[in-house]
Amino acid sequence: MNEAAKIQLSKREMELVNNTEWIFTKQLILKKVYQILGNLHHHFKKVVIREKESLPAIWQKPGGKISKGENYRGLPYAILDYPASFSKENILAVRTMFWWGNFFSVSLHISGKHLDKMSNFDEGILFLREKKFWISVHNDQWEHHFEEDNFVEISELSEDEIAKLRSKFFLKIAKKTALTEWNSTFEFLENGFEEIIRFIQISFPACETDL
């Protein structure tokens, strides 16, 4: 018997490979995810325009990107990056993410010169604590899951622990909502985005439009 002939399916795998309905259902769900992200993009743009006098100039440029994939830690995902500015050393971006089987989330990612200009971090953190945000404790700025080695609720950290995180080369704060809360997802992400905007305004009180 050659090697190919030894590759067999389990009973569960055989059921799935002969079932087209679940693939079509997955495609329908993802289509609705993209609609949610598209509608959020439209709403976020209106917020940025409304608050433009107190937001970074690099966020005033038109844009916004929805990307998707099948393998973030083995599962499908979709991402809206808006408003966002990415370069090798300097990042200032809001990322809204759907991760199959897990959550919707909205996060703020800051690094490089943008992080250096943050002048009112302590007050900003107090605001985030009140709004039940999480903060990244990981050394890899491109991890998005909410396991305890990546994101921790700010309310669970001491002042000394938060101060150590402030000294990292990047800052990521985020909040998530379970997929079982689908019907309230849009409102949750709208509010989360508004809270991130407020955090920017608090943390950069001098209206650092040259960020």
51 close to 94: Cβ distance less than 8 angstroms: no
Reported as a single tens digit per residue, the pLDDT across 100-135 is 999 999 999 999 999 999 989 999 999 999 999 999
Reported as a single tens digit per residue, the pLDDT across 34-60 is 999 999 999 999 999 999 999 988 898
The reply to whether 62 falls in a domain is yes
The reply to whether 118 falls in a domain is yes
The reply to whether 208 falls in a domain is no
How many structural domains is the chain composed of? 1
The reply to whether 91 falls in a domain is yes
Domain holding 61, by residue range, is 12-203
- Residue 22: per-residue pLDDT: 94
Q: Residue 84: how many CB atoms within 10 A of its CB?
A: 18
Whole-prediction pTM:
0.92
Backbone angles phi, psi at 66, to 5 degrees: -105, 120
The reply to whether 5 falls in a domain is no
**CA–CA distance, 47 with 164 (Å, rounded to integer):** 32
Q: Residue 159: how many CB atoms within 10 A of its CB?
A: 9
The reply to whether 152 falls in a domain is yes
The reply to whether 112 falls in a domain is yes
Q: Work out the percent of the chain whose per-residue pLDDT is above 90.
A: 85
The reply to whether 1 falls in a domain is no
| Token pair in block for residue 36 | 């949610």
